[in-house]
Amino acid sequence: MSEYFTEVAEAFSRTAEKYDQFAEDHPNLSRMRAKVYAHLLQHLRPGSRILELNAGTGRDAVYLAQQGFKVHATDIAPGMLRRLAEKVERLGLWDRVSYQECSFMELERVEGGPFDAVFSNLGGLNCASDLRQVASGVSSLLQAGGMVTWVVMPPICPWELALAFSGDFHYAFRRLSRRGTLAHLEGLYFPIHYFTPQRVMAALGPRFTPLIVEGLSIFAPPAESKNLALQRPRLYRSLCWLDDRLSRLPPFRGWGDFFIITLRYEGE
């Protein structure tokens, strides 16, 4: 692994325990995951084998296994994978969840393919500076007709842009930099890059047919926000209602804290 990804792996290993703690009693993050799952389940056949990139502590892998799918979960952070392994052991999911320490930049190392779907949730792929490097390894891991569902952070996040009215111009416009922005996690710094749906499609290339793009937390608060849903529930519900009605319409479907995109692999 490059020095950059070694830094990323160490940062996420350090935060693994806090990651699970933060997700507890977090109605906004729970809603966002539910939206991702509803999107994903529209396109998966029963019993599908899923390759998960940047699986983190295994929350998504566990959920998908409990729905009857088989998941091979990959991540570069040993601390994250230890938490994932604990969940698999505690819940008795050894026959449905396997895991491997592997970067999405090294997909030639992935074990157990080909798969019916390649899934990545909540912006892990934004650690890549060029999605073409990730995409180059995907087609060899997919069955013809298989799906790619990625949840990616876009440049346009209205919730963040609104912070310009409070004078926080750095945070408001951080996603708009072509060079990305510097993330700070557990005392370590690494760049994050933002991608439009069009850039994801271009990276994967003509053998992938786009099926659906859906914005996630366009006007509802981003994943970091826990308090609004708890302290201002009526306002929060109104923002979620607005999101639900706009999330699949242009231009909103490519906006938000994230967008969800699903494409079908047509084969060679």
Task: State pLDDT tens for residues 25-50.
Answer: 899 999 999 999 999 999 999 999 99
Q: What is the pLDDT of residue 210?
A: 98
pLDDT at 3 over 80: no
SS3 state of residue 104: coil
Is the pLDDT score of 87 beyond 80? yes
pLDDT at position 246 is 97
pLDDT at residue 1 tops 60: no
Mean pLDDT of the chain: 95
Instruction: Tell me how far apart the terminal alpha carbons of the chain are, to the nearest angstrom.
Output: 29
Q: Is the pLDDT of residue 62 over 90?
A: yes
Q: Which long-range contacts link 162-166 to residues 24+ away (Cβ below 8 Å)?
A: none
Give the residue among 55, 83, 232, 255 at the shortest CA–CA distance from 152.
255
pLDDT value at position 30?
A: 96
User: Between 27-41 and 59-66, two packed helices, what is the crossing angle to 10 degrees?
Assistant: 50
pLDDT above 90: residue 23: no
pLDDT of residue 178: 86
Six token digits for residue 43: 């396109």
DSSP 268: -
- The strand pairing partners of 101, in sequence order, are 75
Residue 82 pLDDT more than 80?
yes
Helix (H) / strand (E) containing 79:
helix 78-91
Name the residue with tokens 């994903």.
40
Which residue, 214, 216, 191, 213, is CA-closest to 204? 213
Q: What is the CA radius of gyration of the chain?
A: 18
In this predicted structure, what is the pLDDT of residue 236?
A: 97
Tokens 């750095």 map to which residue?
170
What pLDDT sits at residue 86?
A: 97
Yes or no: say if 186 and 228 are a contact pair by the CB < 8 Å rule: no
Using the predicted structure, report yes or no on whether residue 237 has a pLDDT greater than 70: yes
Amino acid at 52: E
Report d(CA 263, CA 265) in Å as an integer: 7
Q: What is the pLDDT of residue 24?
A: 86
Residue whose structure tokens are 């009526």: 234
- Per-residue pLDDT band for 2 (boundaries 50, 70, 90) equals low
Question: What does the pLDDT read at residue 134?
Answer: 95
Q: What is the CATH number of domain 3-265?
A: 3.40.50.150
Across 20-24, 43-47, 174-178, 196-200, least confident range? 20-24
How many helices (H) and strands (E) the chain has is answered by 11, 9
Separation CA 254–CA 198 (nearest Å): 9
- Rounded to the nearest 10°, the torsion over CA 7, 11, 12, 13 is 100
The answer to whether 229 and 27 are in contact (CB under 8 A) is yes
pLDDT tens-place string over residues 109-141 = 999 999 999 999 999 999 999 999 999 999 999
- Three-state DSSP at 177 gives coil
Return the amino acid letter for 11.
A
Question: How far from chain centre, in Å, is Cα 101?
Answer: 17
